[in-house]
Every structure is written in structure tokens, then in C-alpha cells.
Chains A and B, each alone.
Chain A
Amino acid sequence: DAGVIQSPRHEVTEMGQEVTLRCKPISGHDYLFWYRQTMMRGLELLIYFNNNVPIDDSGMPEDRFSAKMPNASFSTLKIQPSEPRDSAVYFCASILGTGGGGSPFFGPGTRLTVL
């Protein structure tokens, strides 16, 4: 398996533009997580899905952020409109849930820069 795949790896956009980040989890995994990493706040859990259903989106910073998982092999995180403070590295991770205690596999991340 190629691991968790994220695209694009780098994204530079201007304030106000829509940004879409993409993630393909490891085949067979039933949990998918979106994290954001910044120098100030470290790694924050934004949202996670189980069997394509959003379970907890309490970490999504504001309504400008939305995430979808239309099928087991694809998820998107959208920011509309983007702002400079959204600049961060966004990680996707997946795991086959085993009742807890599993260690998610992380993708390489998308580095987002909003000018």
C-alpha cells in the first residue's frame, strides 16, 4: 500500500480564495482524521470520520472550514474563503479501528500558505 496520500503537497493562494485539500486513506481503514499543525498551536485535531460519517468536528475552527468524505477512499478539507491565519501544514491520517488504542498512519501533509 502506498500509505496515506495527500494532495497537493504545497499550496500557495491569496486571501479570499477557496482552497481544497485532498486525502486518500489507506485501503480498508475505517477512520480518517484531519489535523492542522502550526508553530503556535502544535497539532490540532480538526475533524474525524468513521465509515465516511463525521463523528467529531468540534476542532474545526470556524464555518469557513468544511470537510467531506463521499466514499471510503477519499476525503476533502475545504477552506472558503481562506485567510492568512489559515497558513499551516494540514495532515490527514487513517486507521483501522480496533476498539481504541490504534496508532493512526499519517500522510506527508499539505503545506498551505495564504498570502
Chain B
Amino acid sequence: AQSVAQPEDQVNVAEGNPLTVKCTYSVSGNPYLFWYVQYPNRGLQFLLKYITGDNLVKGSYGFEAEFNKSQTSFHLKKPSALVSDSALYFCAVSRGANNLFFGTGTRLTVIP
């Protein structure tokens, strides 16, 4: 079975500072890993994914994530946070099928 853990329910960061939202996964075989963002009263929007290749993946809105196989992690990062980045972030995993299993989400608040 596959699972995803987002150990932090809430992350606060000052505007302009780097941000990290953590994700660890458990899956047999090679994982497909995803990050989605959810703004209030909206559906989930795709940010980036790792399938294979370079461990550093770049996505939308200046976000990037690093796949670390030994630590089974896929942390989301951004060098300089914006107030508009404040939202709910979800990490997800699949085993190659098209159905994703999501973490419980991390609420990011960027403080002006």
C-alpha cells in the first residue's frame, strides 16, 4: 500500500524568506510524486511532479521539490515566499497507476 505523510499541519514563514513544506512517502517500487495547492473555496491545482530523472523538479509559481530516495522524501521549496503563496498544500503519491493518494495537507501562511 502507498501512503504519504505531511508532518506539519501549519507552516509560517516571513515574506521574502525561503519556505519548505515537508513530505515523506511510503510505496513499493518506484514512486510517482506530486504537489498540489488549494486556495480557499477552490479545487486543487497541480504544481509539479516527479516521475523519473533529475531529482530536483521545478514547477509552477517558482516552486521546486527535491526527490530523495534514501530519505523517502519529496519536500516542496521556494527561495522567496510571497504572501500570495498562502494556501493549503498537498503531497501525493502513486505507484504508476493514475490514482493518487494524498497527504493530509499543510497550511502555509506567509506573513507580510
Are B105 and A56 in touch, CB under 8 angstroms?
Answer: no
Secondary structure call for the A interface: strand
Are B101 and A31 in touch, CB under 8 angstroms?
Answer: no
Q: How far is the CA of A64 from the CA of B85 in the complex (A)?
A: 38
The yes or no answer to B111 lying at the interface (CB within 8 A) is: no
Instruction: Give the one of B34, B94, B99 with max A CB within 10 A.
Output: B99
Residues 48 to 101 of chain A near chain B (Cβ within 8 Å): 48, 50, 55-56, 91, 93, 95, 97, 99-101
Please pick, from A43, A97, A108, A109, the residue contacting B102 in the complex, using a CB distance under 8 A: A43
Secondary structure call for the B interface: loop
Residues 32 to 68 of chain B near chain A (Cβ within 8 Å): 32, 34, 36, 41-46, 49, 51
Are A101 and B51 in touch, CB under 8 angstroms?
Answer: yes
Please pick, from A45, A107, A108, A109, the residue contacting B99 in the complex, using a CB distance under 8 A: A45
Q: Which size class do A's interface residues fall under?
A: 20 to 34
The yes or no answer to A28 lying at the interface (CB within 8 A) is: no
Q: How far is the CA of A20 from the CA of B81 in the complex (A)?
A: 40
Chain B residues engaging chain A, CB cutoff 8 angstroms: 32, 34, 36, 41-46, 49, 51, 90, 94-105
Chain A residues engaging chain B, CB cutoff 8 angstroms: 4, 31, 33, 35, 41-43, 45, 48, 50, 55-56, 91, 93, 95, 97, 99-109
